[in-house]
Amino acid sequence: MKKEIRICGFGGQGVILAGFIIGKAASVYMDYNAVQSQSYGPEARGGAARSEIVISDKKIGYPRPTSVDLLVAMSQEAFDTYRDDIRDDTVIIIDPDLVKKHSIGRPLYKIHAQQIAEELGNKIVTNIVMVGAATSIFGFLKPDAVRNAVMDSVPSRFKELNLKAFEKGLEAGKNAKPGL
């Protein structure tokens, strides 16, 4: 068993934290082996950023995805840059408000993550909404495990907001249907 996940977006959107949460959920709370890596550098803010997680029940050698099972995109530029190695059955989740040009001739999941976050009062939790949605859409990650990882990873004064964002995302994911 091996799952490879890529989360991408603008620098500053929290894609690295989102990847960290998923990696932590899988490795600490689900007892799998997991590695998380990220693109990092001058493009980390302003340009496209990505965070990648490989989860396996065996020892993980090469730590980068070789073929992505789940792609989460939160910006147009990132979506365009980082979807070259997707398969036909790769699960794709995007925020249609941020990735406007997403007609690539195959169905994908659309989660208005930023909109949901803004309704909660702070678009800073867009990434957590996405993590919630990805949890229910992808199905592999246990919601409890991811919830624990979210709670571990955010400052205490934002715990409540992040928890809400996660639950909203989880719910949005449950109701989401893939579409072109």
Contact positions vs other proteins (CB under 8 A): 20, 23-24, 27-38, 40-42, 57, 59-64, 66, 142, 144-145, 148, 151-152
Least separation in angstroms between residue 132's CB and other proteins is 16
Least separation in angstroms between residue 64's CB and other proteins is 7
Least separation in angstroms between residue 43's CB and other proteins is 9
Considering the complex, state which of residue 5 and residue 111 has its C-beta at the smaller distance from other proteins: 5
Considering the complex, state which of residue 119 and residue 144 has its C-beta at the smaller distance from other proteins: 144
Q: How many angstroms separate the CA atoms of 25 and 22, rounded?
A: 5
Q: How many angstroms separate the CA atoms of 120 and 124, rounded?
A: 10
Considering the complex, state which of residue 118 and residue 152 has its C-beta at the smaller distance from other proteins: 152
Q: Which residues contact 33 (CB under 8 A, 6 or more apart)?
A: 27, 55, 56, 57, 58, 59, 60
Least separation in angstroms between residue 125's CB and other proteins is 19
Q: How many angstroms separate the CA atoms of 26 and 75, rounded?
A: 25
Say if strands 2-10 and 48-56 run parallel, antiparallel, or are unpaired: antiparallel
Find the length of the chain.
180
Q: Which residues contact 162 (CB under 8 A, 6 or more apart)?
A: 125, 128, 150, 151, 154
Considering the complex, state which of residue 124 and residue 151 has its C-beta at the smaller distance from other proteins: 151
Considering the complex, state which of residue 54 and residue 98 has its C-beta at the smaller distance from other proteins: 54
Least separation in angstroms between residue 143's CB and other proteins is 9
